[in-house]
Amino acid sequence: MTPKPRSHNPEVRWIRLRVILVAGALLVGFVLLIARSLQIQFFQSEGWASVANNQIRRSLLFEPRRGDIYDRNGQELAVSIEMESLAANPRVIKNPAATARQLTAAIKVPAAKMEEKLSQPRAFVWLKHYLTPRQVDEVRALDLEGIHFVKEDRRYYPNVELAGHVIGFVGTEHHGLEGLETSMDLLLRGNSDTHPGTKDARGQIIYTHGLPAESGPQGYSLGLTLDKRIQYIAERELQETVRSHQAKSGTAIVMEPESGEILAMAVFPSFNPNSFSSYRPSSWRNRAVTDAFEPGSTFKIFLVAAALEEKLVHPDDLFFCEQGSYRVLNHTIHDLRKFGWLSLAHILRYSSNIGAAKVGEKLGSNRFHHYIRSFGFGKPTGIGLPGETSGLIRPPEQWSTVDLAAASFGQSLSVSAIQLATALGAVANDGLLMQPLLVKEVLDARGKIVGRNKSRVVRRVISADTAQRMKQLLADVISPGGTGAKAALAQYQVAGKTGTAQRSNRQSGGYSEDLYTASFVGFVPVTDPRILVVVVINEPQKGFYGGVVAAPAFRRIAQQTLHALQLPPEKIKNKAKSVAGRDSTDPQMQRRLTALQPVAYDQIDSDHKLAMPDLTGLSLRAALDKLRNFTGSLDIHGCGRVVGQNPEPGSNLSTVDSCSLILAAD
């Protein structure tokens, strides 16, 4: 059998070649695939396993609950409350327009804006933060696909405007924007926490290590030196003073001289940090620390203290006050009255600018500047609030003779209210300058104190003997005939000084003829100062003297603060001791002492006992006004108007130590 000859057909040869090429290519590809698989499986396994884990595993970030802020008695000033916010997954929403219409009726958001959000090609969008309980119920009832709730912490300030400038507020990103909320933001926010989990094919989270803790991370809380009762007193009286004198603004500070602790820091006009965006940014500014002003005659305190410390003058030394007009180079200094010879004590008592200028001449620029700086002026106090000003104290080599004279009565330099309070505290505290203290304690999530700020002596400014002399001189300012007579208290001896300073005119470069800063600074009691109060009123239109505008505000704030601190009236004690040969248990003496005791409330029952007023339906401010002289502790729960109180109306307040108010929204 003869073999069949091979075909020499070109088409057959081409088909065979293509088969060989394809088979060869497949073989090479198969070899490369096996090689790549071996490489991945044996040489790159760890790297690719990590990539796979990253695609399905998630470290879920949990933002900490922001720490709370309390006053010195544990009363809440700022808290974080859990609220429901509304979000959506637009990818699963079939009819965005219809869904938007239904949501608009429930949460009052424009339908066009809502539809735009629901039409986005995303898996998550925010619809509205912080829904009210009624809105939550209405949205739940709609049972819409792709719409879900997310729990968020919202910052809430239960006392509304109270201490708003000190506390500040938090923005939508949960970062502090003003006040302590921003200066202590890192502590209050705390550290973020993570929890492991995996993601399934639908993108749903599976907690592979169990559910996260319900409490979650939490920032540190702050315990302040502020006293809510005293803060309210200061704000109320400051508001009344600014409005009654048609002033532009005002500031009031209450401080403990011995410790430097701030009991109250009030600024008016005020604002509500719960709705800060509805106010102008200028309203957020804490003028007590950010604004510098010319202190006027209150600065004579530090001039005289420096001159006494240097032993250049004595309280009985006489100075000729030029009958009310004194020329220094090409400037003329005036007094309100035509004084002849005045002692150093009377220069303070009658607030003679000419007398102060002559004391300044004795002291000289260099020494006066040294004491100004030593009292803490010209640099921040370090109180821990944002935007604190240094004021303006020029170096002595830049002072002319006129500048020295002007600085002697508080012009040509500027200070802040907190600097003024701290410097006066050195006089009240026997010459020791204290660091002003606002944040007293730092607490963890369990309420345990993890940090405490103690009172700190900055330096000794003047000797204790000089401080005692200054106390006597400043007490004389409050006596009848002195410029501070309207600051006198019936049952406590006050020391202080008035200030009236012309405000600078930015347009002309000189001083305004009709704009003033009226101020009063003082402490009480003189022998053992427990509180000092600084009141500064900017641009009052009805009256402008510090003794007329600011001194009465000091009196009201100091009187109510001393009652709140339960400080026994010192003049009652002195009166009992001054009656020779008569014991304090004598019936006639008891009647005289009782007559001097202040009546705490207007409501008196038939047995002449102090009766608890009916506070039902009153706002918090109105209720606190009724209880303004109550010396026990106040516990306030909720917000809105009073719906419950303990003790009941008509109860004898002399037998209770605390009062509780329950408030609810209208």
Find where tokens 């049952």 sit: 491
Instruction: Please state whether the peptide bond connecting residue 158 to the residue before it is cis, i.e. omega within 30 degrees of 0.
Output: no
Other CB atoms within 10 A of residue 51 CB: 9
Rounded Cα distance between 87 and 596, Å, is 65
Rounded Cα distance between 490 and 591, Å, is 17
Find where tokens 């919202």 sit: 154
- Please give the single-letter amino acid code of residue 406: A
Instruction: Please state whether the peptide bond connecting residue 568 to the residue before it is cis, i.e. omega within 30 degrees of 0.
Output: no
Catalytic (active site) residue 374: no
Beta bridge partners, 519, equal: 499, 536
Find where tokens 């009916």 sit: 614
State both tokens at 80.
């974080």
Q: Are strands 69-70 and 221-224 parallel, antiparallel or unpaired?
A: parallel
Rounded Cα distance between 426 and 422, Å, is 7
State both tokens at 227.
């006293």
- Please give the single-letter amino acid code of residue 542: K
Dihedral-angle region of residue 657 (phi above 0 means left; psi in -120 to 50 means alpha; beta otherwise): alpha
State both tokens at 178.
């003003």
Rounded Cα distance between 66 and 654, Å, is 40
Buried b (16+ CB within 10 A) or exposed e, 456-487: eebeebbeeebbebbbebbbbbbeeebbbebb
- Pick the catalytic residue: 183, 297, 374, 414? 297
Beta bridge partners, 661, equal: 636, 645
Rounded Cα distance between 349 and 290, Å, is 30
Classify the C-alpha dihedral 165-170-172-177 as positive or negative: positive
Other CB atoms within 10 A of residue 191 CB: 10
Name the DSSP class of 130. Answer: S
- Please give the single-letter amino acid code of residue 198: T
Residues with a known catalytic role = 297
